[in-house]
Structure 1
Amino acid sequence: MTNLTINNKARAIEMTKKFEKAASRFGSDEYKALQEARRDNPTYKVIVKTSTAKSKESFKGLTYDYMKKYIAAHDDKDKTIMAEFEMLRGTSAEAKEMNAAARPYGEMKKWFFDKYPAFKEFTENCNKALKKEKAA
């Protein structure tokens, strides 16, 4: 998007936040361009567009403790997933014996979602429902 655009479909004059700041200075080139656009389109509303960059996936509240509790509730009877979790976290007896470092949180989160894809899907559906509720 350029700094200032005329959206005829939405009947709006759209500008970036940076352009808005520059246009707020009386006499600046941006100020003059905005005033010209307003003169040419007097019935259009002026809108500051926010960035449309996709935000990073976030799963608020997904801590190691939460993962551990979830695994404990959904593990098989041999507790193989919990053993793997503790090994990756560096908390198993074998990992401590070898002075193994814990895997980074991002890797642990990916591993957790690979093991429990239904959990990720459920969380994403909840987030979508909340976004729809906020939009209404």
Structure 2
Amino acid sequence: MIDQIPDGPKGKKCHRNGKDCARVCRTCVLWVHLDLVDPQTGEPVRRWDCSDKWANLLRLKGLQETERAAIEVNKLRNEVAAMKRELGQAVAGVGNTVMRRVEDLSTQVDAVQAIAGPSAKLIEQVP
């Protein structure tokens, strides 16, 4: 936690109002402390600076995080697509098994009916 807000850099003028940074930064709402990892170098960054100066670094950090999220979303999409294919194959396999079983039963019924004769009504035909 930051206990005290430091003064701005000595000998520099504010790019917005032209005043001495050492005198105005500590009271400016744009004077902020960030603690993050630089997306270009991978080095930790812990310092006070003007929000306007942080903007480019934060844009890069946001872009990096967006790219990571897009990669993870694509991985998830691929996993879901693979599961969908596997499920479709499993359902098709079950359907094929059921159809073969129905065909086998139909063949058996036909064989029994052939033995029993045409007058035997073993299965009622469904319209």
TM norm. shorter chain > 0.5: no
TM-score w.r.t. length of structure 1: 0.22
TM-score w.r.t. length of structure 2: 0.23
Larger gyration radius, structure 1 or structure 2: 2
